[in-house]
Amino acid sequence: MAETKRKQLHYRLAEFFAPTGRSLQDMVEEALRKLNKIKDRKEAISDPSNADSWQRFINTHRSAMSMEFGALIMLAPGQNKLLIETDDDHDEAELSHIVAPDNKEFLESILFYGIKDNHVLLVQSLNLKARELENHLNWLLREAGIIDNDNIVYLNNYAPKEIYDKLESNPIKSVRIGSELCQPADMVTPSNTVSQNEDTKKISIKRSGIGLDILTYFIPSRIDEISKDLGDTSNIEVFIEVTYKRQTDDESQKALNQITQALRHSSEEDLKIELKNGVTINGSEVKIKTFKSIASVNGNLDVSDVFSQIRTWLEELLSKGLVS
């Protein structure tokens, strides 16, 4: 059934650690011409030596409207899908699974992108975001011999002109990044053990998360106790602030700028930049994004309309002078 879905589009600007005079669009097009078979451009993202390793690769790709479009997909070979019964009148929902037919795999996630020169516009998914696209493009360009291992392409946030002018005209005083102390309950993987003499399943849960990793460095002797006592509804957050006292030198200022760039994939809610003049810039202000209604069929986005909407949005950004 035809319908539309409201999806968020994100803008990034590609920059190279060692610029070669070529655009990202030109390099990606050459890489896809060289690696024109799927087997040649499949990247193993868990264990390269294991045939069942999670994989990602660019599937649908086409040059049109003076842009390079594509879809980055992720799949887990050999995995089955769980189905749950939806009859609410039962005491317990039944679980079953379906197996993919021969020569087919279940698609785990998909990300759509469009590249014009070094402009990158994308429609993210839950498991494939700008960070994953950046990692894959670096792998792809190296695999095709387009760049060497010493070069890197970054997909940087590009602030609107008003914010960019503030960052350019005022030194950065501090960068603050936050994270939840531990993963939400639904993301924790239980360690299950069943006694032979008991029908009851004993479940022990060891919590983890970036916040706990940070605290482990400062209070290693107490971290197990803290982790064990955390409830399912814990909403504690840990923040790191990088700043300087009184005055700083050019090298330290450069380091602060580099840290800000390195945090380009951080959640916008957790990033805060304070300038020397006292102005504070939140993570959401240094990103260009919008929502578009995209055609879909049976719940799946229409690829042609995705690419068309990406192109239209780039034209809007250029016409408004938000990007150059």
CA gyration radius, the chain = 23
Does pLDDT of 232 surpass 70? no
Q: What's the chain's average pLDDT? A: 79
Q: Which of 9-23, 136-150, 216-230, 286-300 has the lowest mean pLDDT?
A: 216-230
With 0-12 / 13-18 / 19 or more C-beta atoms within 10 angstroms meaning exposed / middle / buried, residue 241 is exposed
Band of pLDDT at residue 110, cut at 50, 70 and 90: very high
Band of pLDDT at residue 152, cut at 50, 70 and 90: very high
Band of pLDDT at residue 132, cut at 50, 70 and 90: very high
Band of pLDDT at residue 202, cut at 50, 70 and 90: very low
CB distance 154 to 24 below 8 Å: no
Percent of the chain with pLDDT over 70: 72
Q: What is the DSSP string of 276-308?
A: TTS-EEEGGGG-EEEEEEEEEETTEEPHHHHHH
pLDDT of 250: 74
pLDDT of 108: 80
* Separation CA 169–CA 252 (nearest Å): 17
Tokens of 297: 């069929």
- The reported pTM is 0.70
Band of pLDDT at residue 124, cut at 50, 70 and 90: very high
pLDDT of 214: 67
| Higher-confidence position of 249 and 208 | 249
CB distance 57 to 111 below 8 Å: no
Q: What is the DSSP letter of 207?
A: -
**What is the rounded average pLDDT of the residues 147-171?**
80
pLDDT of 205: 44
Does pLDDT of 220 surpass 90? no
| Higher-confidence position of 60 and 47 | 60
Nearest to 267 by CA among 287, 248, 241, 290: 287
Does pLDDT of 323 surpass 80? yes
Does pLDDT of 204 surpass 50? no
Which residue type sits at 229?
D
